[in-house]
Amino acid sequence: MTQTRQEFEARLRRIGVERYHDLHPFHRLLHGGGCTRDQVQAWVINRYYYQSRIPMKDAAFMSRVEDPKLRRAWRSRIEDHDGTAENEGGIVRWLRLAEAVGLDPDYVASEVGILPATKFAVDAYVRFVREKTLLEAVASSLTELFAPKIHAERIEGLLKNYDFANDASMSYFRKRLTEAPKDVAFGLAWVLDHADTQEKQDAAANALIFKTDVLWAQLDALHSAYVEPARIPPGAWLPGEGQALARAS
Ligand SMILES: O=C(O)c1cc(C(=O)O)c2c(n1)C(=O)C(=O)c1cc(C(=O)O)[nH]c1-2
């Protein structure tokens, strides 16, 4: 049976409660101060791949949208990451975090050493958005409903527990606290408006589940490779590689 708007929204939110990656042991370790410097660096390197592909998936989405109003509402997502004349953008902010944790930002941006499973998961997200219905594509972005909470926890947890964390290095997450809510308010309303049959509601809910899997798989990959007993796949980043040159003190 088709759910009411309220029931369907509650169903989507429950997916976050049950499956979002804030429940993953790697996030608990990171936010609680339990990560070594190598593990923080591994997270920053691998998460760069997700950051770098987000604007590409949004461009893939927009290339399929025929409604100019929808494209207009969506295009700020690309600017939020790639930047504008006034706003340096999320990718530059992420590379600032990379530098703060002791990495060479050029190494991080080169994407050398990314874990294979990170690539498979993130590439699957871009492909999903390129190939599925527009409804499924928009629904898959709704994990951002749950992101502000994790970003706020992350700012607090990192500032408390790691000496690299300061206002400059946390700027990526602070900025997302204002960017994400506007995107997700639009995306949620769009999905609630367009998922008007049971079939479409199921498809949208499954798209959101798929996306929680994309996020979870990235942390599984990190945990498996860099938390004891560490199993680093061939070709992936080895602790000590890609370090920033020591600063003159
Ligand atoms: O730190 C996080 O846990 C987290 C999660 C997500 C998400 O839920 O997909 C995004 C972000 N951050 C983020 O910063 C971001 O820009 C972003 C864009 C999207 C998307 O699917 O379009 N998700 C996310």
- How many Cα atoms are found within 13 Å in the side-chain-facing hemisphere of 198? 2
**ipTM (interface pTM):** 0.94
Give residue 1 CA to ligand 1 midpoint distance, Å: 31
Mutate to test the pocket of ligand 1, among 21, 129, 143 (most ligand atoms within 8 A of CB): 143
Q: Which of 205, 226, 217, 195 is nearest to 2 (CA)?
A: 195
- Residue 247 has what pLDDT? 53
The domains found in the chain, sorted by start residue, are 5-226 (1.20.910.10)
- Residue 179, ligand 1, Cβ within 6 A: no
Quick count: other Cβ atoms within 10 Å of Cβ 67?
9
Model confidence, pTM = 0.96
Give residue 60 CA to ligand 1 midpoint distance, Å: 17
What confidence tens digit (pLDDT) does each residue in 196-245 have? Answer: 999 999 999 999 999 999 999 999 999 999 999 999 999 999 999 999 97
Residue ranges in the chain modelled with pLDDT below 70: 246-249
Output phi, psi for 197, to 5 deg: -135, 165
> Which H helix or E strand runs over 108?
helix 105-110
Q: Rounded to the nearest 10 degrees, what angle do helices 171-194 and 90-100 cross at?
A: 140
DSSP 243: B
- Residue 19, ligand 1, Cβ within 6 A: no
In which region does residue 3 sit, left (phi positive, over 0), alpha (psi from -120 to 50) or beta (all else)? beta
Closest residue to atom 12 of ligand 1, CA basis: 147
Which ligand 1 atom minimizes the distance to the CA of 81? 16
Which ligand 1 atom minimizes the distance to the CA of 151? 1
- Residue 91, ligand 1, Cβ within 6 A: no
Give residue 53 CA to ligand 1 midpoint distance, Å: 11
Mapped to the 3 state alphabet, what secondary structure does 47-74 carry? HHHHHHHHHHHHHHHHCCCCCHHHHHHH
Q: Which of 128, 126, 123 is nearest to 111 (CA)?
A: 123
Single-letter amino acid, residue 183: D
Which ligand 1 atom minimizes the distance to the CA of 211? 9
- Residue 248 has what pLDDT? 45
